[in-house]
Structures are given as C-alpha cells and as structure tokens.
Amino acid sequence: MREEGADRYPQDRYPQVCAAEESAVSQLPTSPTLEFAATTPYEDYVRAEVLARLQTPLSDDPGEMAFLVTTQVMELWFALVVHEWEAAGRALRADDLPAALAALDRSVDELVSLNASWRPIARLTPGQFNRYRGALGEASGFQSAMYRRMEFLLGDKSRSMLVPYRNVPEVHARLEKALHEPSLYDEALRWLALRGHGVPAAVLERDVSAPYEADPAVEDMWERVYAAEERHGDERRLGETLTEIAELVWRWRNDHLVATRRAMGAKKGSGGSAGVAWLEKRAAKTVFPELWTARSRV
C-alpha cells in the first residue's frame, strides 16, 4: 500500500512545487540556537525560574510538595478563568456574542483542566494529610482572593467575604470593585433583554452586590428559548455554554468536597471553617439556576 501523501506532488507533474519544497527544507536550521546573551527567550517569556522558586514546604514530609504545587496551579487556573469571564462580560456589553462565546468556550476547557488538578491530592488518607496539615496553620482555600473573584463572577456575592483582605488594601480594593460589578449571568441576562427577551426590570436593575436569586420570569424566558431553539440559535448556544460552565463548577465543588472528606472526614476545617459541612453547603448551590429549572418545562 502506498504511503498516504507519498505522491501528493509527483515530480513529473509538479516539478516547480517539488523544487520549492526542497529549497525550503534546505534552508531550515539543522540544530536549535543554543547560545544567548543572557537568559533564554523561553525563560524571559514563561518565567519558569520564578515559578520554581515559589514552593517553600514547611514540613519534612515529601507529600507536602504535591499539595503546595497543586494549590498554586489551581490559583493560576482561577486567574485564567476570571480573565476569560471578564472578557466575556465586556463582549456581551458590546453586543459581540461571538467574542463572548469564544471566551466562554475557552473557559470550559480551562475548567476541565482546573478540575483535573485535584488528581495529585484527591486520594490523601487522613494520616498522609496529617503529616503536613499543621504547616498550613490558619490557611484555608476560602481565603483565596482569586477564587473569591471567580465566585463573584458566578453571582455568589458576599460583602462579609471581603473581611479577610481588609488589611491588604490592594486586594481588598479589587474585590470591592468586583462585588459591585455585574456577574457573568447578569451580563448574559442584559444581553438577552437587548435581544427582546422578557427579562424583568427588577432583575436587570437589581443590586448586583447581592447574591443572585432565581426569578420565575427568567425561568419563563429560558423555557421559551429552549422550546423554540431553532429560532433562537444564538440564545440557545449562550445558554448551553453557561450550563456547561455551571456543571463544571458543580463538579469542582464536589471534587473539593470528596477530597476533603477522604483526607479529614468531618473534622473542623482549617481557618476556622466547618470543613466538610461548609463544603456540602457550597456544593448544594446551583449556578445559573433558571437554566436548570426551565428544562423541566420544555
């Protein structure tokens, strides 16, 4: 059997093409550049040395390094997801749905990778976790400022969650700003209203610093979109992308719950939290609620 592509440009039929390919190949460097005036361009761009110096385990247990790196990787994913959702919100305000969907689609893949970050520490036994748990002191994941921005963008607003940062003015100011900005869902509903869909004024004009509460009229609106989705292709795609995000957020919260339950059972969490009980309450919350309840009526 002839190798696929072997006669793509037979020399007797396309001599000029073959000559051009041979010339291009002959001009390729035979080896990579190895000498640079200072650091490598890769290091200048990625800052790998900086990243590698950010891990400072506080115990002698070798497993702590996996916990520390995993947590830091999650912080990078949080930052990237926030970047995408803020870009999507700006695009929706500008009535640029393709740009908004592109950012949201990227965030779906990023959330999948974020969720996969649990793997290195998802099966810790209580004994393994206890070997370095004391090194965490009062540190707890709920103190993550970037995760808090992510939650605010999901519509889960809470002024009390700014309190841990009041002695860090720059971080507090960023979160205060995020608290008073529309969530991703707020932006989506405003865009739908501009398209003539029945989003009530009370929802459009609500205090966006308060947690989003489900509204029957918004559920009615999503029901109409899905009942006639062939006429509302753009709206349906926005709804489905938001639903995918909501599902991945739910999976993240449940993976967090299960990993914590395996590592420490029902013990009190670090930072004074209720541990598993607090995570169970978080996991029970539905993101973009009417997108889920409307499906029962279509």
Binding residues for heme: 256
Closest Cα to residue 218, out of 236, 200, 243, 202? Answer: 200
Residue 221 CB-density burial (10 A; 0-12 exposed, 13-18 middle, 19+ buried): buried
Is residue 271 within 8 A of residue 138, CB to CB? The reply is yes
- Secondary structure (3-state) at 176: helix
Please give the annotated binding residues, written as ranges: 133, 256
Please give the annotated binding residues for substrate, written as ranges: 133
Give the DSSP H or E segment for 154: none
The rounded distance, in Å, linking the Cα atoms of 164 and 143 is: 7
Tokens, residue 245: 């995000």
- Secondary structure (3-state) at 40: coil
Each as own residue / partner, the long-range contacts of residues 274-280 (CB below 8 Å, 24 or more positions apart, any chain) are: 278/142, 279/253
Residue ranges of alpha helices (H) inside the chain are 15-26, 41-46, 48-52, 64-93, 97-116, 126-136, 145-153, 169-179, 184-194, 201-204, 216-227, 233-264, 276-283, 289-293
* DSSP letter assigned to residue 212: P
Residues 6+ apart with CB under 8 A from 106: 84
**How distant, in Å, are the alpha carbons of 73, 217, 220, 223 from that of 200?**
40, 7, 11, 15
